[in-house]
Structure 1
Amino acid sequence: MVGLGETYIAAFVLAAGLGEVASGLIATLPPLAGAVFQLVTPFAVRHLHSYRRWVVACAALQGIALAPLAFGGWRGQIGLATVAFATVAYWSFGMATGPAWNAWVTTLVPPEIRKRFFARRARLCHTALFASMLVGGLSLQWGKERGRELALYALLFLGALLARLVSARFLARQGEAPGLVGEHRALAAHGVRAAIRGAGSGRVLAYLLTMSATVNIAAPYFTPYMFGPLGLSYARFMALIATALLARIAIMPYFAALAERRGTRVLLGWGALAIVPLPVLWLVSDRFLYLIALQAFAGTAWAALEFATMLSFFEGIEDRDRARVLSAFNLANASAVAIGALIGSQIFTFMERTHEAYAVLFAFSVAGRLASLWWLRYEMGGARA
């Protein structure tokens, strides 16, 4: 679903002629609406007395939300309001599955095999993502050369819709212990703060929030930068994205072993440091081999940070508190993403969308990423020890 659909939504907005700013904001603001919607998750699962029912229903509806995009591509035109409606629904139902799935999956995977399991799962997911992105990128290149670009987008979104429905079917086949929902707490706001403090996760969560804000000053504009100043074809765009995925696939077994041997903090500290210079490195050269090497490094860095973040959530928050804490964190994180994206859009518009505007956005993002490391000074100190 992600490789055929979500990956290409920002590019679809550009292909439909809706502009760079719209492309950037459509990639970042709908998750904020999704984060607000997913606050109902703890209450919904308690009403349904099941994590599985809620996850399966939301997964199916997330897939169906791609239907307006497929229809717009088939028609050959689509309005920004329709794209916004579809992406808000897509992110709302997708994010609503997250807290419930994270609370449910810990009962399916024993703690003693959790690091290895999730590392292997990540590799399989990235492999599937790579294959679907390969199909998507080559299909779009073929369609563009024949004047059928938007029609190919319609087929990709339809394929993503069907893939998510199949995913929902597999989720429905997973087991759920009787009375599981009753064992988990629905916390008030002060209870969420207490759970975070008790787990010692506050600084890590604060880092993730400030990092999300500063990353998304620039992140929404990488796709316009690739198709604009760099002038990449769909095939080369797909190759760059796929390179980052292949790097993740290759490195995950090492990261799983590193986390088991030296702990999650080491992995978190390395990933946090490695992502700092990435945006400005895009300005060094436009040679394709250089960009391939840069994407390989970026894929490795983000794999370390995201894997360590996932393990931190499992290790630092009690099972019974996880759904409520993650719902609150998702809202805070989406707000940080939206703030960063809005700051970036203002800078980009003020500088009249020039090549220099991209350079300024990337520099701001690097400075923010560096400043956000302050929250990890104790964790990183512990990692070096």
Structure 2
Amino acid sequence: MMWLAPQTFVTEAERERGLRLLVMEAAFSGGTAALTTGVILTAFALHLGASNIMIGVLASTPFLAQLLQLPAIMLVERWRRRKMIAVVSSLIGRAMLAIMAALAFFSGTLPLLLFLAAQIILCGFGAVGACAWNAWMRDLAPEERLGRVFARRTMRLSAISLLLGLAAAFALDLTPAGSFARNLVFAGMFAIGCVTGMISARVVAAMPEPLMPAAPGPVRLGALLREPLRDLNFRRLLAFVASWQFAINFATPFFTVFIVRQLGFDVSFVMVLGVVSQVANIGALRMWGTLSDRYANKSVLAVCAPTYIIAIVAMIGASQFGSRELVKLWLVALHLVMGASIAGVTLTSTNIALKLSPKGSATAYVAANAMVTAVAAGVAPIVGGLLAEVFAARRFELLARWSGPNGVLSLPILVTAWDFYFLIAGLIGLYAIHRLSLVAEHGEIERREMVNQVISETRRTIRNISSVAGLRAATDLPGALLRDARLGVRLRRARAGKAARDQS
């Protein structure tokens, strides 16, 4: 398995090829994630008859499994073969998707338990691989290009999620709930996810891995984890990460349950909302990547994080409207806002942890960040699932009344069930934003200035799209691809002719 071994020296050409593969691989790993996680995972659990508690446990599994990064640190630091760890872990974990695909034809407690066990194995090996992957990427990608490289990668992830989300929504819309056809749809999603996951591992294996510096001595887990904890600024970042992850994962895993059970919409509509969110995600990613490289990750977070929290709290409005069409429009608008804002949060929260980690020995810092994320994001949905029955039996009603010469206007505001989750998430989110203000990052600017930069970038994009120059630029890529394809054909023909002449 020499092709999985690290390289003593990585040339600039090999590094650039690795970065291109990093972006290309996103299409395959993104396909796996799009068809087997998020809304589809929750919808599949509901299809199998899962309770609110089971949904909370399933939502927490990917995060709590990250605790396996603790032993993974030891594995990486002692073995020092990050690519091999990442590839082998990916192959073993994603094989579980084939088992999940088979469970689509069954229902009851046993299939749900098997489904949970397969999810635990998948997420567990994924966590081990992620520990090696993150430290590997820290040494492969140049620091000054982190934002742009991962923005392109995230755009590829979002694009494939968009396309497959549309296909999944269409397939679910054509099949009635509980039917054999619906079983086939879910089985097909997880089977395809398994195949694309295996292809992803093969692409990752072709990327170069720089050799890790020699270990200064015996590796001790306690000493490794104390290193980032001694860093005051990184501790502040961890405090933000913990509160932020708890806030968003307390409520967002139950969006599907809220929309399907409380609002009465079909799962296919939830998938459409996911597609809407992905469209906004793709549209905003390039801007966030550019701004994070030009200024600082924290400056982008200071705009995106409050926007996302406000959108979560605003989900309460969906249960206040009487018109279903108005509810649909409200949900679509919120998912546009959440998609655009979470793009910036996801990109910059990863980058800021990498940026504040010392180069060459980032494993402990990255893993400490992952540990905090795992515990906070893993505990939050379990707490939410356990409290589901408590909130279901309670309601809070506020009556706003206006009296005047022309009569009395009453506006009742009723908060029930999942609405409580959105309010609590908003309060915790406010605390998270306060913790973010204490983190120091080189190059950060004030929130107001960043908002002005966002407006300027948006106006520039709109002008480019609406102008002749912008339209010409939009056609440059397909034309360039066509010219490259023609040149490639001519080159292959010339080589084939030369080979034939040499043989004769």
> TM-score, normalized by length of structure 1?
0.91
Contact 1:278 1:366 in 2 (8 A): no
Residues 283, 352 of structure 1: alpha-carbon distance in 2 compared, 3 angstrom cutoff = closer
Q: Which amino acid aligns with 2:115?
A: V
Q: Aligned pair in 2 of structure 1 residues 341, 289: CA closer, same or farther (>3 Å)?
A: same
**Mean Cα deviation higher: 15-24 or 358-367:** 15-24
**Structure 1 residues 310-338: Cα deviation after superposition (integer angstroms, max 9, x where no partner):** 11022100133322222233223221123
Q: Match of 1:44?
A: 75
CA separation of 1:210/1:190 partners in 2, compared to 1, >3 Å: closer, same or farther? farther
User: Structure 1 CA distance, aligned partners of 2:291 and 2:426?
Assistant: 27
Give the CA RMSD over aligned residues. 2.4
Alignment correspondent of 1:27: 59
**For residue 89 of structure 2, what is the aligned residue in structure 1?**
58
Deviation readout 1:211-240 (Å, 9 max, x if unpaired): 112222212211111211222223311110
- Counting only pairs closer than 5 Å after superposition, residues 219-258 of structure 1 correspond to structure 2 as 219-258=252-291
User: How far apart are residue 202 of structure 1 and its match?
Assistant: 1.8
State how 1:122-137 maps to structure 2 within 5 Å: 122-137=154-169
- Aligned: 1:170 with 2:211: no
Structure 1: gaps (5+ residues): none
8 Å Cα contact 2:74-2:221 kept in structure 1: no
1:372 maps to: 432
Structure 1 CA distance for aligned equivalents of residues 440 and 146 of structure 2: 23
Distance 1:64 1:181, change over 3 A: farther
In the alignment, which residue of structure 2 is the partner of 1:194? 227
Of residues 371-380 and 79-88 in structure 1, the stretch that sits farther from structure 2 once superposed is 371-380
Aligned twin of 1:101? 133
TM-score (norm 2): 0.71
The alpha-carbon deviation at position 75 of structure 1 amounts to 4.1
Cα displacement (A) at 1:187? 5.7
In 1, distance between residues paired with 2:423 and 2:123? 29
Q: Which residue number corresponds to residue 281 of structure 1? A: 314
Which residue identity is paired with 1:56? V
Cα separation, partners in 2 of 1:199 and 1:379, compared to 1, 3 Å = closer
Residue in structure 1 matched with residue 34 of structure 2 by the alignment: 3
Q: Report the equivalent of 2:175.
A: 143
Structure 2 unaligned segments of length 5 or more: list them. 1-31, 319-323, 395-414, 448-504
Bigger CA radius of gyration: 2
Amino acid aligned to 2:380: G
CA distance in 1: counterparts of 2:83 and 2:278, whole angstroms: 29
Percent of paired sites with the same residue: 20
Matched, 1:296 2:336: yes
| Aligned counterparts of 2:232 and 2:216: Cα–Cα separation in 1 | 16
> Taking structure 1 as reference, are residues 2 and 339 closer, same or farther at Cα in structure 2, changes over 3 Å only?
same
Provide the C-alpha distance between the structure 2 equivalents of 1:190 and 1:16, rounded to a whole number of angstroms. Answer: 45
Which residue of the partner structure matches residue 315 of structure 1? 355
Q: Which residue of 1 aligns with 2:378?
A: 338
Change (3 A) 1:319 1:65: farther
Amino acid at match of 2:436: L
In 2 relative to 1, CA 197–302 (structure 1 residues): closer, same or farther, beyond 3 Å? farther
For 1:161 and 1:147, locate their aligned partners in 2 and report how far apart those are by CA, in whole Å.
Answer: 21
Q: 1:181 to 1:94 in 2, by over 3 A?
A: farther
CA distance in 2, matches of 1:199, 1:254: 30
What is the CA–CA distance in structure 1 between the aligned matches of 2:268 and 2:204, rounded to whole Å? 33
Deviations 1:90-140 (A, max 9, x none): 111112122211111133222232221111111111111211222222222
Provide the residue aligned with 2:249 in structure 1: 216
CA offset at residue 175 of structure 1? 1.3
- For the residues of structure 1 that align with 2:216 and 2:172, how far apart are their CA atoms? 46
The answer to whether residue 301 in structure 2 is matched with residue 268 in structure 1 is yes
Following superposition, the deviation at residue 24 of structure 1 comes to 2.5
- How far apart in 2 are the matches of 1:119 and 1:66? 28
